[in-house]
Amino acid sequence: MTARSAWLTGLRTTALAPWLLLTLWLAGLGLALPAAWVVHSTLRAAIAHTDVEGAMLAGFDTIWFGEFSAEATGVSATFDPTLSGAGGFLVNLESWFTGSLFDGFGGLIGAGAVFALFWAFLLGGTLSRVAFPERAMSASSFFHIGGEFLLRFIRLALISAIPYVLIYRLHLWLMERAEEALRESTTESAAIFYTLLIYGLTGLLLTAVQMSFGYAKVATVVDDRRSMFLAAVRGAGFVITRFPKVIALQGLTLAAGLIALLLYGLIAPGATIASWSGVVWTLLLAQLFLLAKLFLRVSLLAGQAALYRKFSPVVESGSDLTRAAAVSGAVPARLPTRFR
Amino acid sequence: MVTLSLVTATAPPEPLHESARNANYDIQVRLDVEQRMLIGSQTLEWTNITDRETDEMWFHLYWNGWRNDRSTWMKGDRIRDRSDLSGDVRESDWSWIEVDRIEWLGTETLDLTDESRFATPDDGNADDRTVLVVSLPNAVQPGETAQIRMEWRSKIPKTFARTGARGEYYFFAHWFPKLGVFEGERGWNCHQFHSTTEFFSDYGVYDVTMTVPESYELGATGRPLETTETADGQRSHRYHQADVHAFTWTTSPDYVVLERMFAREGLPTVAMRLMMQAEHLGQADRHFAATEAALESYGQWYGPYPYGHVTVVDPAWGSGAGGMEYPTLFTSGTRLFNPKGMDSPESVTIHEAGHQFWYGLVGNNEFEDAWIDEGFNTFSTIRTLETSFGPKVLSRRFVEPPGGGRGFFPLLFRDIELSRWDERRVRFRQSAESDIPDSHTFRYFPGTAGNISYSKTALWLATLERHLGWEVLQPILSTFFERYRYRHPDAADFIAVAEEVSGQDLSWFFDQVHYDHVAFDYAVHSISSVPAEPTGFIDGDPEPVYNEPEDDPDSGRWLSEVIVQRNGGGVFPVDVLLQFEDGEERRFQWDGSETWKAFTVTRESKLRRAVVDPDRVLMLDVNYSNNGRSVESRADLPAGKWSTRWLVWAQDLFTTFAYFI
């Protein structure tokens, strides 16, 4: 199996499970909506009956924003016009690179953690669905599997926190070294070069960890692993042994994501939208982009599962009789202990 | 170094007015790049142009401000919560200036080296060594000229406040022992070096010879007179400039020099010399265009630029230089990625070029009245930008450089235009009541000097423009410029000119904006529109009858009432505009002195909106959001528009969090 065929398999598998995407999308939307309502109410109260209404409708009122942001608290304090359109996605992407995700958006960390937990809950069923697309899966078994794997994935996440923390510390350390190296530099291009090098390295390391733990999750579900440490080792081992295919699959997904972001950036309506139909259209377009991102993310999982099943010893031995498969209706079976 | 083009400059026009030329310097200085030292000697010829004698001479030794962390400059920096001392500060970063020998050149040469002491007139800080007082053997009588010769050495700092070295880039401002200003009865005006203010000196003639490595390009105040090669691979550059109050220079092997001529009908030609960093060459035209815009606008509004030449320096990245003004030379500053619409490098270039007028030619005491040069120049910068360049748009920069700062890569939101005046108002509002502008600038409440000097002054000038009209303000400014060119005006001088030219008593205005620190804030407190017919019992025969009018906007008459409020202590006459649903408008004038006032109108249409100061005359209003009020709210749509955008970002943020699971 090539990376391309794994990628296509992932896309196909994901396309055949629209309810899965909808569930994940609705989870995010459901969590963000109450917070957005708070922001909406705060904005509404702040501008109601004033001339700012008109300015905010026609574009944006920056002087009002200066007054507003000085007083805003909680989630409303995160409101910023530069978060609209592609800006918001770039802000999140930069936060991912630098680790500022955890200290930059105070009021939203709690909600983000809840979403991450919910994501972990859905991941078991999702992986089971995309790893075994040939098997039918009921809604109840989907959530049942999610419950089965939730604690394992939380344990896995705790293990993965170690490399993530180390990478962010390394990023910080490298930036400090770069500052020192650039002490006498007189060109911004040199600073950009060093910085992009560090960002590139950070991105590669983060991706490597993400890939390793991605395959660890796949292994956990496919092999019904209970030891998350061994699953992590297995994931890292798989990435190392199948590196070209693994990295190519990741690259294809990343490229598709960047193209989607570029397209969205080009067609996302600007700030001059001044009608409800325009607002709805803008929102729909953004949701389509979010769905596309989600689609790519799930298809990556599916592609990873396809690769893993193809090249892992368990699958090669013909045994797809995992716990997940069992829950989803397959014949129960046990894996050799050495694989757990 | 690559010289891309060379334009032969025409002979400079004679200055329109000569200055007093009472502080004239002849300086020789050598740059030692190995030791990062300046070794210099200077002969100062000073004429006492006051009616009092003096037996002292006071000198600024600016670079001792960065001698250690106990200096007044450093203390001020700390109080302002600035970052000059944060991070990795090393021994080589600090600087000092030592005067090794002082000689009195009279009928006989006397050694005054031991006749000097440090003074701390501003704060008594015993650790500060930025003011040197030399006791003279004889008093200098009014009209007499004294000559002093000095030998000195300076250790070049890592760039502090734009001055110093980074790599092979050197920028030297306030680099030599510089005489203060003798003010007669008030004595010597020679303040210590503060982190918020820098200069005040008499005008004079500077003849300076700078010796640097042969491969280095050099730019300086004035015009080059001669260049001499030395045997040890060095090159001496002699520059000369009359009628300026400082001398600044820069040198580096990396400069790319471009030259172009500014020529506009009715204005003197100016040879523009642009010293660019190679990586910014693509922005050279924008630098020239901005400089030309300033020379043209300021020249037409206030008076011609008389020197015939100007040098624009694009400082090295990381040098902390940014934009700064010096006589006939200024630093601009840009970034590698600076698409049009961000106001950079245009804004900073216009501003610093504009300082040639407000600072260079009108030489107010920047230690005490920085609001004159910074405020007048900020006002003029915005006017020039609005006149000559397109709108500024919202942007956000991504990917911070090592050590922090604004990101490398900008994303522009081209459909969100920014008002340059509003940007100033946002800054001013933070310090609206923090201090009285008439205080000495270096004594302003920590962190507010910029907001008061730049923003508040620019905003009250913009208010005056809207209140009096440009046709009145422009002559006020040009008269002030003409009258105080090569002189040192203060607040009273400007107010006198403003009242003289406008023919109005403006004390009510300046008492508030300059001699007080009141905030201006007018608001529409409440707005209502109800049927004009009363609800309840009205006159009847034989007894009162109950009346309940219909709430129908298409019939009957409406009683509309608006209450406007003065929230701040500042008083300013404002208009109050009432807009009705049938499109009609009623405008009222209010002197703004009461704390509130009700405006009532009865007419056949319901009131839609009321706004106080509808033409935004009072640019100092700290809160414009409360200036207008509508009967009906339409807030749902804009709130919905922006909260749905936030929603999308939050959804994506959550999935980014989930990345780690």
Distances (CA, A) of B661 to A244, B135, B175: 24, 75, 58
Read off the pLDDT of residues A169-222 as tens digits, 9 standing for 90 and up: 999 999 999 999 999 999 999 999 999 999 999 999 999 999 999 999 999 999
Contact between chains at A53 and B414 (C-beta distance less than 8 A) = no
Q: A37 pLDDT exceeds 50?
A: yes
Q: In A, which residues are within 8 Å of B317 by CB distance?
A: 185-188, 190-191
Q: B10 pLDDT exceeds 90?
A: no
Q: Considering only alpha carbons, which residue of chain B is nearest residue A194?
A: B402
Cβ-proximal residues to B426 (8 Å cutoff; 6+ apart), any chain: A62, A63, A66
Q: In A, which residues are within 8 Å of B628 by CB distance?
A: 50-51
The one-letter amino acid code at B1 reads M
Contact between chains at B396 and A178 (C-beta distance less than 8 A) = no
**Tokens of residue A335, six digits:** 């894996």
Q: Is the CB of residue B167 less than 8 Å from the CB of residue A183?
A: no
Q: How many CB atoms lie within 10 A of CB B537?
A: 11
Residues pairing with B213 in the sheet: B234
Q: Identify the helix (H) or strand (E) that includes residue A250.
A: helix A243-267
What pLDDT score was predicted for residue B329? Answer: 98
Residues pairing with B96 in the sheet: B155
Distances (CA, A) of B226 to A308, B38, B207, B513: 77, 21, 11, 49
Under the banding of pLDDT at 50, 70 and 90, the label for residue B2 is: very low
**Tokens of residue A179, six digits:** 């500052």
Please check whether residue A228 touches B, CB under 8 A: no
The arithmetic mean of pLDDT across residues B557-570, rounded, is: 95
Q: B16 pLDDT exceeds 60?
A: no
Those of residues 60-89 in B touching chain A at CB distance below 8 A are 87-88
The arithmetic mean of pLDDT across residues B500-526, rounded, is: 97
- Output the pTM of the full model: 0.91
How much of chain B, in percent, has pLDDT values that exceed 90? 82
Q: How far is CA B93 from the centre of its chain?
A: 27
What pLDDT score was predicted for residue A141? Answer: 86
What pLDDT score was predicted for residue B82? Answer: 66
Contact between chains at A43 and B634 (C-beta distance less than 8 A) = no
Q: Which residue has the tokens 């010893």?
A: A313
Q: Is the CB of residue A323 less than 8 Å from the CB of residue A222?
A: no
Q: In A, which residues are within 8 Å of B403 by CB distance?
A: 175, 179, 182
Mutate to test the interface with A, among B645, B647, B656, B659 (most CBs of A within 10 A): B645
The one-letter amino acid code at B395 reads S
Contact between chains at B646 and A191 (C-beta distance less than 8 A) = no
Under the banding of pLDDT at 50, 70 and 90, the label for residue B13 is: very low
Q: B1 pLDDT exceeds 70?
A: no
Helix (H, G, I), strand (E, B) or coil at B459: helix
Q: In B, which residues are within 8 Å of A91 by CB distance?
A: 396, 398, 649
Nearest to B475 by CA among B491, B454, B456, B499: B499
Domains and CATH numbers, chain B: 22-202 (2.60.40), 419-513 (no CATH), 522-633 (2.60.40)
Contact between chains at A59 and B416 (C-beta distance less than 8 A) = yes
The arithmetic mean of pLDDT across residues A267-294, rounded, is: 92
How much of chain A, in percent, has pLDDT values that exceed 90? 54
User: Is residue B419 classed exposed, middle or buried when 0-12, 13-18 and 19+ CB atoms within 10 A define those classes?
Assistant: middle
Side-chain-facing half-sphere of B449: CA atoms under 13 Å:
23
Largest CA distance in chain B: 119
Q: Pick from B252, B317, B647: which is nearest to A191 by CB?
A: B317
What pLDDT score was predicted for residue B116? Answer: 96
Per the model's pLDDT, the better-predicted residue between B177 and B163 turns out to be B177
Per the model's pLDDT, the better-predicted residue between A336 and B373 turns out to be B373
The one-letter amino acid code at B234 reads Q
The interface predicted TM-score of the complex, written ipTM, equals: 0.90
Those of residues 517-576 in B touching chain A at CB distance below 8 A are 527
Cβ-proximal residues to B406 (8 Å cutoff; 6+ apart), any chain: B335, B397, B400
Please check whether residue A87 touches B, CB under 8 A: yes
The one-letter amino acid code at B90 reads R
Domain with A143 in it: 3-339
**Tokens of residue B362, six digits:** 């009108």
Mutate to test the interface with A, among B33, B319, B651, B659 (most CBs of A within 10 A): B651
Cβ-proximal residues to B476 (8 Å cutoff; 6+ apart), any chain: B464, B468, B497, B498, B501, B502
Read off the pLDDT of residues B254-276 as tens digits, 9 standing for 90 and up: 999 999 999 999 999 999 999 99
Alpha-carbon span B165 to B95, nearest angstrom: 11
Contact between chains at B659 and A108 (C-beta distance less than 8 A) = no
Cβ-proximal residues to B490 (8 Å cutoff; 6+ apart), any chain: B364, B365, B368, B369, B372
Mutate to test the interface with A, among B521, B529, B641 (most CBs of A within 10 A): B641
Q: B650 pLDDT exceeds 60?
A: yes
What pLDDT score was predicted for residue B66? Answer: 93
Alpha-carbon span B491 to B512, nearest angstrom: 13
Total structural domains within chain A: 1
Contact between chains at B655 and A290 (C-beta distance less than 8 A) = yes
**Tokens of residue B265, six digits:** 């009908």
State phi, psi for B416 to the nearest 5 degrees: -115, 100
Residues pairing with B38 in the sheet: B31, B154
User: Is residue B589 classed exposed, middle or buried when 0-12, 13-18 and 19+ CB atoms within 10 A define those classes?
Assistant: exposed
Q: In B, which residues are within 8 Å of A194 by CB distance?
A: 402
Contact between chains at B633 and A275 (C-beta distance less than 8 A) = no
Please check whether residue A313 touches B, CB under 8 A: no
Q: In A, which residues are within 8 Å of B36 by CB distance?
A: none
Under the banding of pLDDT at 50, 70 and 90, the label for residue B87 is: low
Q: In B, which residues are within 8 Å of A301 by CB distance?
A: none
Under the banding of pLDDT at 50, 70 and 90, the label for residue A329 is: very low
DSSP class of residue B446 equals T
Distances (CA, A) of B491 to B27, B368, B372: 34, 10, 8
Under the banding of pLDDT at 50, 70 and 90, the label for residue B7 is: very low
Instruction: Summarize chain B as % helix, strand, coil (round to 5).
Output: 25, 35, 40
The arithmetic mean of pLDDT across residues A330-340, rounded, is: 36
Please check whether residue B655 touches A, CB under 8 A: yes
Distance (Å) from the alpha carbon of B472 to chain A's nearest alpha carbon: 28
Mutate to test the interface with B, among A29, A102, A171, A187 (most CBs of B within 10 A): A187
Read off the pLDDT of residues B478-507 as tens digits, 9 standing for 90 and up: 999 999 999 999 999 999 999 999 999 999
Helix (H, G, I), strand (E, B) or coil at A8: helix
Contact between chains at A82 and B413 (C-beta distance less than 8 A) = yes
Q: Is the CB of residue B272 less than 8 Å from the CB of residue B261?
A: yes
Please check whether residue A273 touches B, CB under 8 A: yes
Under the banding of pLDDT at 50, 70 and 90, the label for residue A337 is: very low
Contact pairs from chain A to chain B, CB under 8 Å: 291
What pLDDT score was predicted for residue B80? Answer: 73
Q: Is the CB of residue B313 less than 8 Å from the CB of residue B275?
A: yes
Q: Identify the helix (H) or strand (E) that includes residue B415.
A: strand B409-418
Q: A103 pLDDT exceeds 80?
A: no
Q: In A, which residues are within 8 Å of B88 by CB distance?
A: 179-180, 183
Q: Is the CB of residue B475 less than 8 Å from the CB of residue B301?
A: no
Those of residues 182-201 in A touching chain B at CB distance below 8 A are 182-192, 194-196, 198-199
Please check whether residue A266 touches B, CB under 8 A: no
What pLDDT score was predicted for residue A336? Answer: 37
Q: Is the CB of residue A289 less than 8 Å from the CB of residue B650?
A: no
Alpha-carbon span A111 to B653, nearest angstrom: 10
Alpha-carbon span A208 to A213, nearest angstrom: 9
Q: Considering only alpha carbons, which residue of chain B is nearest residue A290?
A: B652
What pLDDT score was predicted for residue B553? Answer: 59
What pLDDT score was predicted for residue B551? Answer: 66
Please check whether residue B188 touches A, CB under 8 A: no
What pLDDT score was predicted for residue A313? Answer: 59
Distance (Å) from the alpha carbon of A280 to chain B's nearest alpha carbon: 9
Please check whether residue A32 touches B, CB under 8 A: yes
Nearest to A234 by CA among A205, A211, A250, A253: A211
Please give the angle made by the CA atoms of B592, B597 and B601, to the nearest 5 degrees.
120
Q: How many CB atoms lie within 10 A of CB A322?
A: 26
Cβ-proximal residues to B313 (8 Å cutoff; 6+ apart), any chain: B171, B219, B250, B275, B321, B329, B330, B331, B332
Alpha-carbon span A81 to A220, nearest angstrom: 42
Contact between chains at A64 and B279 (C-beta distance less than 8 A) = no
Read off the pLDDT of residues A116-128 as tens digits, 9 standing for 90 and up: 888 899 888 888 8
Contact between chains at A194 and B402 (C-beta distance less than 8 A) = yes
Strand ranges for B96-248 from DSSP E = 96-105, 109-111, 116-118, 131-140, 145-155, 164-166, 169-172, 178-179, 181-182, 188-189, 204-213, 217-220, 223-229, 234-244
What pLDDT score was predicted for residue B563? Answer: 97
Q: Is the CB of residue B394 less than 8 Å from the CB of residue B418?
A: yes
Best mean pLDDT range from A147-151, B100-104, B231-235: B100-104
Sign of the dihedral through C-alpha A45, A48, A54, A57: positive
Q: Is the CB of residue B616 less than 8 Å from the CB of residue B624?
A: yes
Please give the angle made by the CA atoms of B263, B265 and B268, to the nearest 5 degrees.
55
Distances (CA, A) of B511 to B458, B503, B593: 17, 17, 15
Under the banding of pLDDT at 50, 70 and 90, the label for residue A66 is: confident
Q: Identify the helix (H) or strand (E) that includes residue B586.
A: strand B585-590
Distance (Å) from the alpha carbon of A59 to chain B's nearest alpha carbon: 6
Under the banding of pLDDT at 50, 70 and 90, the label for residue B554 is: low
User: Is residue A241 classed exposed, middle or buried when 0-12, 13-18 and 19+ CB atoms within 10 A define those classes?
Assistant: exposed
What pLDDT score was predicted for residue B203? Answer: 97
**Tokens of residue B133, six digits:** 């007082």
Q: Considering only alpha carbons, which residue of chain A is nearest residue B403?
A: A179
